[in-house]
Amino acid sequence: MTGVSEKSQSKFDLSTPVQYIKGVGPARAETFAQLGVETVGDLLEYYPRDWNFLPEPTKISQIEPDRTATVIGMIESTDYQGYRRQPMFEALISDDTGVCRILWFHGGFLRNQLEPGQIIMVSGKAALYKHQLQLTNPKFLVLDEKQPQSIEQFSGGVYPASGKLSSAQIKKIISRVRDAADQLIQEFYDKPFLKQANLIGRKDAFRWIHSPPDEKKLAQAKRRLKYDELFLMQLGLALRRHKVQHFSAAGQCVCTDEIDSRIRKRFPFLLTEDQNGCIAEIADDMGKSQPMNRLLQGDVGSGKTVVALYAALLAVANRMQVAIMAPTEILAGQHFLSIERYLRKSSVGRILITGGLTGKKRNEVLDRIKSGEIDIVVGTVALLQADIEFQKLGLVVIDEQHKFGVHQRAQLRKQTTPHCLVMTATPIPRTLAMTAFGDLDVSVIKHSPPGRGAVVTRWVDRQHRRKAHEFIRERLKAKKQAYFVYPRITAVEQAGDVKAATDEWKHLSAKVFPEFAVELLHGQMPSAKKQQIMSEFRKGRIDVLVSTVVVEVGVDVPNATIMVVEGADQFGLAQLHQLRGRIGRAEAKSYCLLFAETENETAGSRLEIMTRSNDGFEIAEHDLRLRGPGEMFSTRQHGLPDLKIASIVDDFDLLVMARKNAFELVSQDPMLTRAEHKNIRRALLAKFGDALGLADVA
Ligand code: ADP
Ligand code: MG
């Protein structure tokens, strides 16, 4: 390295745009930007997707017959025998232990490449020929003293390339900042921790990930960088959580025995052990002035709504208001109805806010909310809009169903600091609970209330369709009800033969089930019409409800025991499981019939898992594996930086360790102000920027 280039490199820091690196002009900077690389720091984190290794060289005296050998030696002499039937180029090479003969058949082209005096590396299979060892047709590389790096071209990282930038070019550019990197990369942890956690230094990790001397060092580099990546992510989550807990106060809700028994009297059944467990955790949280931030997880029909209502009534008993939000109007209506059922003759003020509520009426309602006259407000995400003012909002319940993200929750918190309970019916695999939802505490309802009939799931192909229809007819005659769910509302030409609800509804009502009441429901209908159809279905006046996935969420009609999913291969696992959750809500046996023909292997395994398992957690884990975590949730969407090297599925152990250490660090040094945490804080800010609202931590 010459003095001049060293000087120019010391100008870099991790936030220097790549354009200032030698060999990168505006055009290449543009190409790099498309690869997600804008700064020197990004470039160093542009990790290879694969690595090549040259085998360890051996001494000539140690070459063994019938084995692959790699030797470095000097060419003593060369000879070309072009007159043979098989022309042959021969070289004798030597090292300090001996001489070896190398042969290349048809090697005429080597006459102007190899000459005595050169140092070469050869790698190939050794064989005995007339009692002498020789290598035949080996790979070779001239180790040119003027270009000592040439050997790297045959080893080291292979980068994800783009049309305009090859792996070799990327490698060359990265090599230009490598020495600067040595000064820029700062260690995060002290030596005892590194030792105890079995992690190598951060500088080494960056050096070795790009050009690893051997496989072992590569593995160590990967482990360290994965750990750091997961650690910073968990640290972001820990800080976000700390901030919520310590810089905002929520109303404390006292839960006396009197309040507890008053609330329980509202339910016509005893709560299950799981429900009681969750309620205990929630009541404990709500008793504190730190805002609760809890995820209530449980399969469809497991009894989450009841738990949420308990929390709501606890807040109301403490003279606070509650907002309950659902992703769709149907589900909001459903929640409101069950609340009504439980609160009959109660003095608790409650209201459902729908899109249909406008003008003077709406203003009236808003006034009553503002004055505190209404205790529980139920609605969709539209409740988040700013014009609703509460007198004292104590609790927000969000039925998430994977449709909301952290951002909306954060938005909500800007206005007030209520306790927050997020419900989700799609069980979240452990890995996601620790990442996408990693700033939440988790309560789980594992077992559904007793008295639920079994749900049988069948994958039905075309030839058994008629039989399936007859089977359904028998159930309908026995006064049971059925859902028919389709992937689309109306047929789309490009979609091939994907069935559409509107067309099939006509067919089903006229041809297949003419003797029954068959009605259509879809998301684009006016909300009053939707409510009306749902209400008729609930009352049993509609036998078959034909719809799109609008019924996916929360609809609770215990007498509906049949779920037919048409074009089931078009749905994801989580969706299928949700749909199936609509049935099996009473004691009668229920049937989920998945209608599909598919050649697609992944779609096939989804359907097969459905027929095999009723366990939401098991299905969620399968889903994660089939789709990959990147598909299942986007880190960006959750305000987390993208993972470049770690995988939350494959590196679960590191994730657990990173999480534990990150949360411990924040509990000891919440603002990361201690000198020994300076480097961590800097890296964290560079990564998250404002995404987590950490600016005030700086
Ligand atoms: P989720 O919200 O998890 O889908 P719900 O709270 O809506 O589940 O409950 C589903 C059904 O189970 C409802 O009809 C509810 O009345 C009933 N249920 C809830 N908890 C119990 C219980 N402990 N015992 C009996 N039935 C219950
Ligand atoms: Mg529910």
Judge if the beta carbon of residue 582 lies within 6 A of ligand 1: no
Which atom of ligand 1 is nearest to 399's Cα? 2
Which atom of ligand 1 is nearest to 306's Cα? 6
Please tell me the predicted confidence (pLDDT) of residue 334. Answer: 85
Judge if the beta carbon of residue 334 lies within 6 A of ligand 1: no
Please tell me the predicted confidence (pLDDT) of residue 494. Answer: 55
Per residue in 513-532, pLDDT tens?
A: 999 999 999 888 888 888 89
Alpha-carbon gap, residue 521 to 58, rounded angstroms: 75
Give the Å distance between the CA of 406 and the centre of ligand 1: 27
User: Is pLDDT of 5 > 50?
Assistant: no
Give the Å distance between the CA of 89 and the centre of ligand 2: 80
Per residue in 445-503, pLDDT tens?
A: 988 888 888 899 999 998 999 999 999 999 999 999 999 999 887 766 555 566 788 88
Q: For the stretch 517-542, what's the b/e string if a residue is b when 16 or more beta carbons lie within 10 angstroms of its beta carbon?
A: bbbbbbeebebeebbebbeebbeeeb
Please tell me the predicted confidence (pLDDT) of residue 635. Answer: 53
Say if residues 305 and 378 touch (Cβ distance below 8 Å): no
pLDDT band at 280 (very low <50, low <70, confident <90, very high): very high
- Name the closest-CA residue to atom 17, ligand 1: 303
Alpha-carbon gap, residue 386 to 409, rounded angstroms: 14
Phi and psi torsions of 290, nearest 5°:
-75, 135
Alpha-carbon gap, residue 559 to 237, rounded angstroms: 43
- Name the closest-CA residue to atom 27, ligand 1: 449
Say if residues 92 and 99 touch (Cβ distance below 8 Å): yes
Among 306, 334, 378, name the best residue to mutate to test ligand 1's pocket (greatest count of ligand atoms within 8 A of Cβ).
Answer: 306
Judge if the beta carbon of residue 39 lies within 6 A of ligand 1: no
Say if residues 98 and 61 touch (Cβ distance below 8 Å): yes
Q: Is the dihedral of CA 238, 242, 244, 247 positive or negative?
A: negative
Q: How many CB atoms lie within 10 A of CB 594?
A: 25
Higher pLDDT, 634 or 191: 191
What average pLDDT is seen over the chain?
86
The helix/strand/coil state of 125 is strand
Which atom of ligand 1 is nearest to 585's Cα? 11
Element at 322 (helix H, strand E): strand 321-326
Judge if the beta carbon of residue 586 lies within 6 A of ligand 1: no
Please tell me the predicted confidence (pLDDT) of residue 2. Answer: 38
Q: 625-629 — which CB contacts under 8 Å span 24+ positions? A: 625/649, 626/573, 626/602, 627/572, 629/431, 629/432
Please tell me the predicted confidence (pLDDT) of residue 551. Answer: 56
Judge if the beta carbon of residue 260 lies within 6 A of ligand 1: no
Please tell me the predicted confidence (pLDDT) of residue 146. Answer: 59
What's the chain's Rg over C-alpha atoms? 33
Both structure tokens of 376? 């529980």
User: What is the percent of the chain where pLDDT is above 70?
Assistant: 89
User: What is the percent of the chain where pLDDT is above 90?
Assistant: 49
Higher pLDDT, 574 or 59: 59
Judge if the beta carbon of residue 298 lies within 6 A of ligand 1: yes
Judge if the beta carbon of residue 394 lies within 6 A of ligand 1: no
Element at 92 (helix H, strand E): strand 88-95
Residue 370: CB partners within 8 Å, gap ≥ 6? 389, 390, 391
Judge if the beta carbon of residue 401 lies within 6 A of ligand 1: no
Q: 353-362 — which CB contacts under 8 Å span 24+ positions? A: 353/377, 353/378, 353/379, 353/382, 353/383, 353/388, 354/329, 354/379, 354/380, 354/527, 354/531, 355/329, 355/380, 355/382, 355/527, 356/527, 356/528
Judge if the beta carbon of residue 305 lies within 6 A of ligand 1: yes
- Name the closest-CA residue to atom 26, ligand 1: 449
Per residue in 71-101, pLDDT tens?
A: 989 999 999 998 888 899 999 999 999 999 9
Judge if the beta carbon of residue 300 lies within 6 A of ligand 1: yes
Judge if the beta carbon of residue 556 lies within 6 A of ligand 1: yes
pLDDT band at 697 (very low <50, low <70, confident <90, very high): very low
Q: What are the E-state strand segments in 567-609?
A: 590-595
Give the Å distance between the CA of 554 and the centre of ligand 2: 5
- Name the closest-CA residue to atom 23, ligand 1: 271
Q: Is the dihedral of CA 279, 280, 286, 292 positive or negative?
A: negative
Judge if the beta carbon of residue 275 lies within 6 A of ligand 1: yes
